[in-house]
Structure 1
Amino acid sequence: MSLGLAVALLLVALVGWLDDHRSLPVLPRFGVQLLAASLFSALLLRTGMSWWWWPFLVIAGGWSVNLHNFMDGIDGLLAQQGVFVTATLAVLSYSVGQAPLGLACACSAAACAGFWFYNRSPARIFMGDVGSGSVGLLIFMLIAMLWQVDPNLLWPGLILCSAFVTDASLTLLSRMLRGRRWYTAHREHLYQWMVRRGRSHKQVVTIYLGWNLLIASPLALTSRIDPRMALPFCVVAYLAAAATWLALKRRLLRRHVQEVRHVIP
Structure 2
Amino acid sequence: MMYWAIPFITGLSLLLTALLRRYALAKSIIDIPNARSSHSLPTPRGGGVAIVVALLAALPLLGWAGLLDSAPLAALFGAGLLVAVIGFMDDHGHIAARWRLLGHFSAAIWALLWMGGLPPLELFGHTLALGWIGHVLAAFYLVWMLNLYNFMDGIDGIASVEAITACLGISLLCWLAAAPQLVWLPLLLAAAVAGFLFWNFPPARIFMGDAGSGFLGVVLGVISLQAAWVSSQLFWAWLILLGVFVVDATFTLARRLVRGDKVYEAHRSHAYQFASRRYGRHLPVTLAVCAINLLWLLPMAAGVVLAGLDGLTGVLVAYAPLVALAVYYRAGSRED
> Residues 44 and 194 of structure 1: is their aligned pair in 2 closer, same or farther, counting only changes over 3 Å?
same
Q: Give, as a single letter, the amino acid of the residue that structure 1 aligns with 2:286.
A: V
Q: Give, as a single letter, the amino acid of the residue that structure 2 aligns with 1:197.
A: R
CA contact (8 A) 2:297 2:318 kept: yes
Matching residue of 1:149? 230
Structure 1 stretch 90-99 or stretch 148-157: which is displaced more? 90-99
Higher helix share: 1
Matching residue of 2:42? none
CA contact (8 A) 2:149 2:214 kept: yes
**CA apart distance, 1:101:** 2.5
CA contact (8 A) 1:45 1:51 kept: no
CA contact (8 A) 1:90 1:102 kept: yes
Q: Percent identity?
A: 33
**CA apart distance, 1:167:** 0.5
Matched, 1:62 2:153: no
Q: Give, as a single letter, the amino acid of the residue that structure 2 aligns with 1:27.
A: R
CA contact (8 A) 1:75 1:201 kept: yes
Q: Give, as a single letter, the amino acid of the residue that structure 1 aligns with 2:87.
A: G
Q: 2:304 aligns with which of 223, 243, 246?
A: 223
Give distance in 2, aligned partners of 1:31 and 1:186: 23
**CA apart distance, 1:237:** 1.1
**CA apart distance, 1:195:** 2.1
Deviation track 1:164-196 (CA, whole Å, cap 9, x = no partner) reads 111101111111111111111111011111222
Matched, 1:14 2:85: yes
Matching residue of 2:25? none
CA contact (8 A) 1:85 1:139 kept: no
Q: Give, as a single letter, the amino acid of the residue that structure 2 aligns with 1:247.
A: Y
Give distance in 2, aligned partners of 1:77 and 1:216: 16
**CA apart distance, 1:208:** 1.3
CA contact (8 A) 1:166 1:238 kept: yes
Matching residue of 1:115? 196
Matching residue of 2:41? none
Matching residue of 1:241? 322
Matched, 1:41 2:112: yes
Give distance in 2, aligned partners of 1:179 and 1:46: 33
Give distance in 2, aligned partners of 1:155 and 1:212: 15
Gaps of 5+ in 1: 258-265
Give distance in 1, aligned partners of 2:99 and 2:228: 29
Give distance in 1, aligned partners of 2:163 and 2:309: 27
Matched position secondary structure for 1:249: coil
**CA apart distance, 1:199:** 2.9
Hey, which bits of structure 1, 4+ residues long, moved more than 6 A?
46-49
Alignment of 1:165-180 (within 5 A): 165-180=246-261
Alignment of 1:63-82 (within 5 A): 63-82=144-163
Give distance in 2, aligned partners of 1:209 and 1:68: 16
Matching residue of 1:86? 167
Gaps of 5+ in 2: 1-70, 121-130
Give distance in 1, aligned partners of 2:169 and 2:233: 15
Structure 1 stretch 43-52 or stretch 231-240: which is displaced more? 43-52
CA contact (8 A) 1:76 1:116 kept: yes
> Residues 104 and 27 of structure 1: is their aligned pair in 2 closer, same or farther, counting only changes over 3 Å?
same
**CA apart distance, 1:48:** 7.7
Deviation track 1:194-248 (CA, whole Å, cap 9, x = no partner) reads 2222431101111211211221111011111123433212111112211121123
Give distance in 1, aligned partners of 2:119 and 2:246: 28
| TM-score (normalizing by structure 2) | 0.71
Matching residue of 1:159? 240
The number of residues matched between the two structures is 255
